[in-house]
Amino acid sequence: MGASTVLVAPLTGSVEKDFETHIKLSPGETGLHASSIRCEDLTVVKKEFLIEPKFSLRTLSNARVCQIADQVRLAMGCPPK
């Protein structure tokens, strides 16, 4: 059946400050202006509340997903792998 929720790391358009747990993304990765993933600010969202996107979504590389996972670990106080 699968999980009924997803884990979400929000994006912010405030990229001028450097935070250890933020990962800067280029417009080419997101289709948006320059932005950062806030790895310290995870939230859980029920899948039933998600809506179909109006435009096609972009997929992050596996290396980028692993970088996000490392920063989430850091935000939780766990040492990097």
Domains of the chain are 5-75 (2.30.30.110)
Looking at the predicted structure, is the pLDDT value of residue 17 above 90?
A: no
Residue 81 pLDDT: 72
Arithmetic mean of pLDDT, 66-75? 94
pLDDT at 32 over 90: no
What is the sign of the dihedral through the CA atoms of 26, 7, 45 and 57?
positive
